[in-house]
Structure 1
Amino acid sequence: MSLLDVVPRGWAESILGDVADIRSGPSGASVRQQDRSADGVGMIAPKDVRDGRVHTDAVSRVRADVAATLASYTVAADDILVTRTGTVGRLAWVPASCDGWLYSTGLMRVRPYQVVSRYLTYYLALPEAQEWVRRRARGTAVPSISAAVLAGLPVMLPPVHHQREIAAALALLDEQVEVHDALSRLAGRTRDRLAGMLMRGESPGRLVFPG
């Protein structure tokens, strides 16, 4: 059953549905355009799930009274969101800053209860796990996968202390990636500003370059 063709001594195997609760998002008709509000409750959509993170810069928001009717579709810190339509299998770990937000149609909420959340997030991002999901997606124009199918995904379970060690090591690398991404974006903005000035014959003066 193992996706990785090996089960180290002392490790166990299970399936996702036995170590986490999986729930699909509400139907698209549950939230109408008039239900949205700039100061409402955040609603995470598939577009906000990228690179293992929830990107909140362009998240939609829903009126508090409407959000109350969708209370069963909220996320908590340490949940995992997985796209279930389109580019299936893209995922994000939910930070504490998004606790109590909603998740939309097109997503599934995976709530671990017998496995370390960050470890499971990294496991689900493995190429082997992603390929497993893609192969089981149905549809041609818009591929999709159901919660029932995702529940059957094989999961490798090292001892809990080892799960935490693996998650901590990979999270440290994630932090470094975020720093480098931020520097890259800053360098890009600096380049664009400098190009505009130089090509207008303006003197840039003293620029501070990201280092």
Structure 2
Amino acid sequence: MRVIVADDQASVREGLVLMLDLLPDIDVVGSAGNGEEALQQVTRHRPDAILLDLHMPVLDGIETTRRLTAEHPEVAIVVLTTYADDRSVLETLRAGARSYLTKDADRLHIAQALHSAVAGLSVLHPQVQATLLAATGVPHAPAPRDLPDGLTRRETEILALLAGGLTNSEIAATLFLSHNTVKTHINRIFSKTGSRDRVAATQYAQRHGLS
């Protein structure tokens, strides 16, 4: 997998390049110190993915993400940043980033996020998941108790997110699950609750105090 690393702090950037280059399945083909350089590197090297700092000079990570999504939609964008505030998370994801990690993520976690992003999946740091849920007003799943109709804890959690208006892709990103896994869970939820669609499942969740 061909990757570009973009971070305005030289020590962080060089450390990430060295760290990722040690992995046998990742080839760092370029690095950049700001958003404009990142765009130039992507145009030059045509990577599979870019590991992108959010707060950079010249062109910040959010605007860089918008430009990359518009000009190079085939490149998977993984944001790596110190921050996990509401505005940054939501704006970056809306701009087209597939994954959002904080800088305390280890090498294997970063590599997993890059591979998942290239495969079209999303990975969100747990702190980012919580921030996203809070910002969108989606409730957490209820505390453990006797669940109706044989629903499992995970199915109840997914039902709560579904009832909160999240799409399958958003549920997958929030819970670190693949899109297919979420779809399988939702089909089971429909079967167990006798729901024909998402509207009926939402009504079920509201009746049973699960949302």
Query: In proportion to residue count, which structure has more helix?
Result: 2
Q: TM-score range by the shorter chain?
A: under 0.3
Query: In proportion to residue count, which structure has more strand?
Result: 1
Instruction: Mark the structure with the bigger radius of gyration.
Output: 1
User: Which structure exhibits the higher relative contact order, with contacts defined as CA atoms closer than 8 Å and separated by 6 or more residues?
Assistant: 1
Give the structure-1-normalised TM-score: 0.23
